[in-house]
A and B are shown apart, each in its own frame.
Chain A
Amino acid sequence: MAGGYFDDGTGAFELGAHVFATPTMARRSVEIAPAGRAARVLDLGGGVLRVCVTAQRLRDNMGDAERWIYDRVHALAESAPGSLACEDNQGRRAVFAQSVCVWAVGRVRGFRFCDLHLEFLGPESEPEPEWGALPEPPEVYADTTTAQDYAAGGVTLGVGGEMRIEMTRSYPLREIPRARGARTRGPCSGALLRFVVTADLLDREQNLASALAELGRSIGPGPVDLTGNGSAFPGVLLRSLQPAHTDWSHTRFDAEFIQEL
């Protein structure tokens, strides 16, 4: 059994069937190296863990995988400090207390494999909480497909699209002098979600630049619904529409949408 979950006290939710975390510890100090005298290192105390997490799960189809990612990212974006728990393939467990998720990016690979990368911040010397119960993954989301039919406000976003979902928020930690720890402190910033659809614009009638500009204009300035693969993400704002072409994929573009929480 392997997996992981996050629990901020309001209810645990699972993070995947394969979850591993690699913590980086950082302690602040002041280094003084005056000319002609011995160097000094002054310990400022405190200690912060930056935990990078990879969370993966196989789902039924592309839309189902995107919804699974969205639900995890959305829940993490609104979560309070909580326990980040992961279990490896040999059943060995690790739990990081008082962790806050500050960054996430998830994409679907192979059309139904969720690949979620998360970054948590937490204090160094918190006692490790008890392992809780591993929540069950959600059922298959109804009406989801692998149609790759992304549209924003009803405007089709090219063909062969794929989407990645990102989240950022600020949640500062106050380091404790003369101790190996830190406390999460508020206020944290509200999270922003980014949806980046990478697709190909096939237009044999006009220059690709004109087609791309026209696509941007037709989406319009206000919040729209981003739909695709049987899911809908309401109230997103088109932030940018940019070419992502190479010699080998000259019709590719990125459409970036943001959503506030």
Chain B
Amino acid sequence: MSGPTGDWHTPARRHLRFCPEDEWGQCPDEPDWQTVPIVGDGLRLGATRRCFRPDTQYGGGRRSVHLLSVLEAAGSLVTRPWPQLAALLLDMALCRTSGELASYCMDLYTPSASRRALGAVAERLELTASGRTGDMLLSLSLRGRSVEANDTLAEADFDYSAIDPVPFRFARAVVQLQGQVVTGVEQLSIRVENGLAAGPSCTGLIAYLAAGQRSISVELRKLADDAALHEALREGGTLSLSMTASHPLGHVLSLALPALHPTSVDEEAEPDELARAGVNLEAGIDEAGDDITYELTLEE
């Protein structure tokens, strides 16, 4: 009986580490690697190529022309807000220097095809907190300059010892709307879109990735237990929302969106369930010019 051949492996043997780049698309000479745990099947970062095909019947009945041109790195990463990683992961999408996002060099180890993505920039960040599971997930959508093979990687290069075993959890978080604690939150999603603009193709690679205008949207699903959301929507004002998550080891992560514009409230009232309200909000800026802020306190 024959079995699988080649470097077959389980997801437990797939590892990720990354470091900030000084120059876009260039791995630093002395990289400051940070290993990041992958949640489930949560890493889909790889190479993509644009393909041109003539839109006429060039060549007859069989398509004979496929011109593969510009190489790009693209994909997603799903992880959790571990205390030692939360700032790094949030900064990837939220922190800008002179209007530009930082770029990262990412090493992905797999026993079969280890590779390195260069110039990775966070196109989108989604923080999803679920009241049913009590977990929080951080999903990053990434775009980068290139992907290359990296056969020098070994499993021993990935060190998780500096990361606390337990991430921040929604089960230990408090959500406040207009300064009032909101109970019965089933789902909270904060989505940050960085509006990345890719430069032109230049000798097979994109010339740049520029951050565009940031847009932040929030979805909050909770029990329909008061009229505050409806009232805010009718009046057309703004709401402030904050979430503070505490960690068993004493770390605290606080996220605040000071000026949210409610755009719609959807209610669900199934016969055999409690009535729920889902509100969609878009973030504006407050008087200080902030749309989203976070604060992380790590206990030594």
Contact = CB atoms under 8 A, between A and B. Distances in A.
A83 interface: no
A161 to B, nearest CB: 8
Contact of A202 (B195, B199, B212, B213): B199
Given A56-B54, A109-B52, A112-B67, A89 B60 contact: yes
Contacts, number: 73
Contact of A56 (B58, B197, B199, B207): B58
A89 B69 contact: no
Q: How large is the interface on B (under 10, 10 to 19, 20 to 34, 35 or more residues)?
A: 20 to 34
Given A56-B54, A160-B199, A251-B199, A113 B65 contact: yes
Interface residues of A, number: 30
B67 A202 contact: no
A113 B52 contact: yes
A27 interface: no
Given A18-B56, A58-B65, A148 B203 contact: yes
Among A111, A148, A162, A202, chain B packs the most CB atoms within 10 A around the CB of A111
Nearest to A247: B212
Contact of B58 (A17, A112, A161, A250): A17
B58 A110 contact: no
Contact of A18 (B58, B197, B203): B58
B67 A148 contact: no
A252 B65 CA distance: 28
Interface string B196-240: 011111110001101011000000000000000000000000000
Contact of B203 (A110, A147, A247): A147
A2 B279 CA distance: 60
B207 A200 contact: yes
A119 B202 CA distance: 32
A54 interface: yes
B93 to A, nearest CB: 19
B200 A160 contact: yes
Contacts of A115: 54
B61 interface: yes
Nearest to A16: B58
B69 A111 contact: yes
27 contacts: A2-B60, A17-B58, A18-B54, A18-B57, A18-B59, A56-B56, A89-B57, A109-B54, A110-B53, A110-B67, A110-B69, A111-B67, A113-B52, A113-B67, A146-B203, A147-B203, A148-B203, A159-B200, A160-B199, A160-B201, A200-B199, A247-B195, A247-B197, A248-B197, A248-B212, A249-B197, A249-B199
